Structure 1
């Protein structure tokens, strides 16, 4: 089985009771809302990753104001020719403040739209689990930097 490690950095940007999200195509059709952010490039600092990814996906310039926590997930995916992929994702979640730029949609990227959503409306959105995890980290600010969940 092939092993794959992916490290990524994401941001929680809350302004005036609204959360900034990006829209991404869902694996089985349709769309789902995601936290803006993405994978680190080799040699890139996670802080710089989140700044770069936010600008790419939303048009905003941001300043990360704190590291909220780290999430780690591991899943096995079927691979080509019967060879599966053991995928380990490590995701750093920052709180970030908008410092400049203008809201715009990403062109030719992994997302196609960025938008602000009232915090109370987020539970009704089609979204990835990482949105809820990021909001939990933002609300709870756990000293250990992770949300305790059953099975951990």
Structure 2
């Protein structure tokens, strides 16, 4: 039986052949992602719309203002008694200046060449998001790769 559900929204921000990623720091609950790169984004606050969540999270984690341009799809995972639902948007940067997140879940934000992402230590969500971005499936879902 699942005891918790986390709903989160993430942005795929690609510009000039690069993608904007954030590097995770250890959490008290889950240290599995520490030091790995992920998409800017995160959990919804109570009563918050996921569209507002992703814009807020991009700002918090990267220092950039953004505009979402498309809904790419939805992904989910189950880990023990926790389930996560991740809403993935495509977006563009509209302003701000790149910076690290102060006192948050990430410690660095950086642009990476798309061709270098597979060699970076990163979470599975990045692979799922890039497949959605490249393939644009009508149903907004792609099969997951085998676990790393």
Is the pair's TM-score, using the shorter chain for normalization, greater than 0.5? yes
Q: 1:90 to 1:128 in 2, by over 3 A?
A: same
In the alignment, structure 2 segments of 5+ residues that lack a partner are none
**Length-normalised TM-score, structure 1:** 0.88
Q: Is 2:143 the partner of 1:148?
A: yes
User: Which runs of no fewer than 5 residues in structure 1 stay unpaired?
Assistant: 77-85
1:6 aligns with 2:16: no
Relative to the length of structure 2, the TM-score reads 0.91
- Tell me, yes or no, if structure 1 residue 135 matches structure 2 residue 112: no
Whether the aligned pair in 1 keeps the contact of 2:72 and 2:90 (CA below 8 Å) is yes
Runs of 4+ in 1 over 6 A off after TM superposition: none
What residue in structure 1 maps to residue 93 of structure 2?
A: 98
Q: Which has the larger radius of gyration?
A: 1
Aligned to 1:68: 72
1:101-147 Cα distance to aligned partner (Å, 9 max, x none) = 11111010000100000000000000000000000000001100100
CA RMSD of aligned residues (A): 1.8
- Alignment: residue pair count: 142
CA contact (8 A) 2:25 2:35 kept: yes
Work out the CA distance in 2 between the residues paired with 1:9 and 1:91: 6
